[in-house]
Chain A
Amino acid sequence: MDNRERLEKIFELQKSINKITSSSKTYNQKAKKVEEVKIEEVLSGNFIKTPFGLTFVWENCFSHDYKCGEITLSQIFKSPTRSLSLLVGDKRIDRMDINKTVFLDTETTGLAGGAGTFIFLIGLGYFTEAQFCVRQYFMRDFDEEQALLSALNELLDKFESVVTYNGKSFDLPLMENRFIMSEMKMNLEEPTHLDLLYPARRLWKKRLENCSLSTVERDVLGLYRENDVPGYLVPEIYFNYLRTKDARALKGVFEHNLQDILSLVALAAKMGDFLEEPLKNTIYPSDIYSLGKIYDKQKEYIKSALYYKEALKRNLAEEEALEILRLVSFAYKRQEKWEEAEKIWKEIIERSQEFIYYPYEELAKYYEHYLKDYRKAKLIVEEALNIVENIFLKEKLKYRLKRIKRKEKSGK
């Protein structure tokens, strides 16, 4: 028996074992015989000549007032990118010039990463004076990869910064991979990179079920896609096209990618808007709360306290309100706005159904160490001692009480 026959047997064997253990996928090997339909018959694109051969490009341009959900594209110019840099914690974003920025998204043959994952479609969006243009480069087969990369490089050369969604860990490293595998160099060295996934998480994690681009689009931009190709089907659609050379199903993938890029602009604009005038631009208290936390992290306590207080004015679950009160009290404490902090600690004690230890302790510390008002300090500790059940806390409080009493005596 020759190798091929034996391989066939091994394959069948592997297949039936896989069936039994039903662990790994078997290949959908039989492609139906269909007529070849070329990509240029499906989409009105062009071919670009490169030193490595042709590559297919589909270009679409939109006016600046094109609406993407509730957002018009031009809104991105209204708010300076400075506010975005706050969200990302990257100073370079301050100086990001939208006119030299490319909005980028790739479609790939898998999500696993590694040397065997290819980019077969890459969309680049950028502003011209009158329009927003999206160019989508496509490789009709694996042997056009170099042509695609080379055409891509020519365009990339014009930009200084890039906006993506999860591009830091996925799209850009993968692009670098592909350039290295083709023994080429990518014309986008250490660009300023605004990856919208991270700020999206910071702002909206609290109220969204997840932070996938499609969820954010729906719940933040108010954009509903129709007949969208789900991302997980994309590799199989491409493989199927390679086998059959019927490009019709690819139209959906191009449109999906195109929409992703438009959404990147809208999302960046939305974030900018929100950051410029947060109170005007959202109806969700959790967004304002998240913003407070972002300022907290930047150690901008005046602003964080401001937004916490704003969030508190809105309708919140009691539990969430208590948590925000805690945060705002510490924001005040860090600014040494003791009186405000004191008010809030008292409010927490007032509002909470359950015994919460820390406001008592904070008040006691404030009275004892800062005001040196030992009587007040004594009272608050005694109040806590009356309620507290946990023996460790009890001991801690007793110890504090003893010390306060001692100080009180010697003070007199």
Chain B
Amino acid sequence: MQIEEILEGFKKYNKISSCFTAWEHIPTKDAIYEDFPDWIEGKLMSVLIEKGIEKLYSHQASALNSIREGKNVVVVTPTASGKTLCYNLPVLDAILKDENSRALYLFPTKALSQDQLKELYQLLTALDEGIKTYTYDGDTPNSARQAIRKQGHIVVTNPDMLHLGILPHHIKWLNFFQNLKYVIIDEIHIYRGVFGSHLGNVIRRLKRICRFYGSNPQFICCSATIANPRELSQKIVGENFDLVDNNGAPQGEKHFLFYNPPVINKELGIRKSVINEVAQMVSYFLDYNIQTIVFARSRLTTEVLTSYLKDFLAKTGRSKDIVRGYRGGYLPNLRREIERGLKDGEIKGVVSTNALELGIDIGQLDACIMAGYPGTISSTWQQAGRAGRRSNTSIAILVASSNPIDQFVINHSTYFFGESPESVVIDPNNLSILINHIRCASFELPFKEGEDFGTEKLEDILKHLEEKGVIRHVGGKWYWMSEIYPANEISLRSASLENFVIIDTSSGEQAQVIGEVDKASVPTLIYKGAIYLHEGVQYSIKKLDYEEQKAYAERVKVNYYTDAQVESHIEVLEELDKNEEKKAEYAYGEVNISTRSTTYKKVKFYTHENIGFGEISLPLEEMHTTAYWISLSGKVVESLKFHEDEEISFDLGSGLLALSNILINVAPLYIMCDPQDIRTVPEVCSPITGKPTIYIYDNYPGGVGFSEKMFHLHKSLLKAARELIVTCGCDKGCPSCVGPIDEVGVKGKDSALLLLEEVLS
């Protein structure tokens, strides 16, 4: 009832109601049940019935039917619809029927695999049939590994471990692979772009090893709502899939609201801070005792919001502990504690990064507030799905930041509610990814002539590797002929998995680790002088030991937080190919991207004013990769300059920015990657070419061949960009074409179009 009261309130007060730009009502949905299929082991069924699961939801029953028929299945239903039962049931059933059966569970992160194990354990304890489930990842102690390989019925791991630690040593897993019945890939939508292309190849290798040992496992995938779950599963696994999306789980009534903070400075278009607005909104909800999850866009905002909310609670005389922060970098025990608190209702509010967007079990909450647009339609639905009781009304609110994309989405709610969520694009046949996995596969098992690896490029690549002396062709097989352990040279993710630990030295001798930060976040979170926020408590970083990967911190009480300024530089190391034309030069080659934090500012709480600066001295982070670049000739700029005086005004800076934005939107479709896989740098006068230049680089150390692809696409990329600008319905720019006006300026869209027309004429 309280939700209704709040909604009434929102409507009543004009000042507030005018800030809501959308108000979607999603009606109640009743459960659709089906009976357990008769082939399920009786023992398993009675355990489920004891747990209160007397019938299956329609999607669970459909999944089971398809699996029973030997088909691969991808299940797409909302959070908390009983997805995991779709795979746990057939897996346990198979093991009960044949004790030798084995299953492999793949989760994208370690945290998720821990969570899964917990749920499975409950079922296993109730079953009491000696079914053994283990996680096998980097944290598994050596002493336990042998037992896991020999005895584990269900082995839970991640793609990185499969790639690096399991497949190259498949002989040790002989028994496991011989009896492998099911492979589960959960959260398959996470595997986008390069990461997904890698996974596709790891699965090719896995299937090859299974064939060697005479097994042919069935695949069960689960996905959040994306446009193409079936296609994605088929691409990753290389086999046909049945799509199961007839969600039978019940759903309470839900309101989905868009909120745009009011303008406080009309001239400059400045709005109230998203952080303050969200903090007030959550405080309001907490007064009504409504369990609320807040999603913030960064770790920093997560912490700032958490401390604001704790302050609020202190002022109203309530326990600070009913609001908690949650993000990667908290130690596992702390995370478990928060998850438990949420489930049993002791924690009333949690502020999280997208870490809680994935399937970690925290139960269902009453309200979800998103502090800023999560970036994709798909993530937004996923986050909103965290709120939603089965019987009560729930509420989800998207609060826009002044970020251009946020402003666009908040003011064009049909863009969000009308469009289908994004597709996930992957390309397991990307040559430079493929070749690396063929090296790994050759190490694992010699390729036979005519063998199938799911791609017709196999033979060419084998011949190429043979020429390079990496493999040897003899007796109808290609043998690995190198001392190198190839899996070590390939990382499936762009980000390194190395972590820095933060050590609290405040209490004298008893130094204690309070958290971790991945290497990439060091320059923005734990430089010397930074205020590191941990569960709303402030720590000042006294010393950063980069070699030892340790940061030493002390508790402090200050009225500000710190925000680092990061600078990036691009430098061309070698030009590999170039097309010179009258109007523009197109080239690709090796580049060095260097990033460094130089200074930080001290930002005062609540007012967000700058109250000081500090210097950061950290080693330069460098990445060698490949880039594609277009530089415009002096003539183009010369001829367009005239426009500056005419009606359609031209601005080179805005035009280049707009053009680079639209290229990021267009290129992924042509080169088959995720927008996150590439980055652009527009420069009005590049120090390297001396001309206006747009660089687009592969966001992976060493590059993955996107730049070269773009180079060979030549003008079709620019033509597609022009096409998109011309056909886009927006006036002066939107996130789907050149980017929102607030970012590229009023002249951005026109200028980009002028540039394209001139270059393509």
B is a partner of A: yes
Chain A interface (Cβ < 8 Å from any Cβ of B) = 1-4, 6-11, 13-14, 16-17, 20-21, 24-25, 27-29, 31, 109-116, 118, 141-143, 176-177, 180-181, 235-236, 239, 242-243
Q: Are A239 and B481 in contact (CB under 8 A)?
A: yes
Knowing A4-B463, A24-B484, A115-B171, say if A13 contacts B626 (CB, 8 Å): yes
Contacts of B483 in A (CB 8 A): 109-112, 235-236
Give the 8 A-B CB pairs with smallest separation, nearest first: A143-B475, A116-B443, A110-B483, A142-B479, A112-B485, A116-B480, A3-B460, A114-B168
Contacts A/B (CB < 8 Å), 30 sampled: A3-B431, A4-B463, A7-B464, A8-B464, A10-B431, A13-B590, A13-B703, A16-B574, A17-B703, A20-B592, A20-B624, A21-B624, A31-B469, A112-B485, A114-B168, A114-B444, A115-B170, A115-B171, A116-B442, A118-B479, A142-B446, A142-B474, A143-B474, A180-B171, A235-B483, A236-B483, A239-B469, A239-B482, A242-B472, A242-B481
Q: Are B467 and A29 in contact (CB under 8 A)?
A: yes
B472, B480, B483 — most chain A CB neighbours (10 Å) = B483
B27 close to chain A: CB less than 8 A: no
Contacts of B432 in A (CB 8 A): 10, 14
Contacts of A176 in B (CB 8 A): 171
Contacts of B463 in A (CB 8 A): 4
Contacts of B626 in A (CB 8 A): 13
Contacts of A3 in B (CB 8 A): 431, 457, 460-461
Interface residues in B697-713 (C-beta closer than 8 Å to A): 702-703, 705, 708, 712
Q: Are A17 and B469 in contact (CB under 8 A)?
A: no
Contacts of A235 in B (CB 8 A): 483
Query: A27-B482, A142-B481 given. 9 additional CB < 8 A pairs?
Result: A10-B432, A10-B705, A11-B468, A13-B703, A17-B624, A118-B479, A142-B474, A177-B171, A236-B483
Name the CB-closest residue of A to B209.
A115
B495 close to chain A: CB less than 8 A: no
Chain B interface (Cβ < 8 Å from any Cβ of A) = 168-171, 174, 431-432, 435, 442-446, 457, 460-461, 463-464, 467-470, 472, 474-477, 479-486, 489, 573-574, 576, 590, 592, 624, 626, 702-703, 705, 708, 712
Contacts of B485 in A (CB 8 A): 110, 112, 114, 116
Complex Cα–Cα for A14 and B432 (A): 9
Contacts of B479 in A (CB 8 A): 118, 142
Q: Are A28 and B170 in contact (CB under 8 A)?
A: no
Q: Are B464 and A11 in contact (CB under 8 A)?
A: yes
Knowing A112-B483, A114-B443, say if A29 contacts B469 (CB, 8 Å): yes
Q: Are B460 and A7 in contact (CB under 8 A)?
A: yes
Knowing A9-B708, A111-B483, A114-B485, say if A141 contacts B573 (CB, 8 Å): no
Complex Cα–Cα for A243 and B464 (A): 15
Measured between C-beta atoms, what is the minimum distance from A18 to chain B in Å? 8
Measured between C-beta atoms, what is the minimum distance from A113 to chain B in Å? 8
Complex Cα–Cα for A177 and B170 (A): 10
Complex Cα–Cα for A176 and B172 (A): 10
Contacts of A181 in B (CB 8 A): 171, 445
The residue from A8, A16, A27, A114 contacting B470, defined by CB atoms under 8 A apart: A27
The residue from A7, A24, A29, A31 contacting B461, defined by CB atoms under 8 A apart: A7
Q: Are A20 and B573 in contact (CB under 8 A)?
A: yes
Complex Cα–Cα for A9 and B589 (A): 11
Q: Are A17 and B702 in contact (CB under 8 A)?
A: yes
Contacts of A141 in B (CB 8 A): 472, 474-475
Knowing A20-B624, A109-B481, A142-B446, say if A115 contacts B168 (CB, 8 Å): yes
Measured between C-beta atoms, what is the minimum distance from A367 to chain B in Å? 37
Contacts of B480 in A (CB 8 A): 109, 116, 118
Complex Cα–Cα for A7 and B463 (A): 10
Contacts of B576 in A (CB 8 A): 9, 13
Measured between C-beta atoms, what is the minimum distance from B197 to chain A in Å? 15
Contacts of B461 in A (CB 8 A): 3, 7
Complex Cα–Cα for A236 and B484 (A): 11
Contacts of A16 in B (CB 8 A): 574, 590
Q: Are A17 and B590 in contact (CB under 8 A)?
A: yes
Complex Cα–Cα for A180 and B173 (A): 11
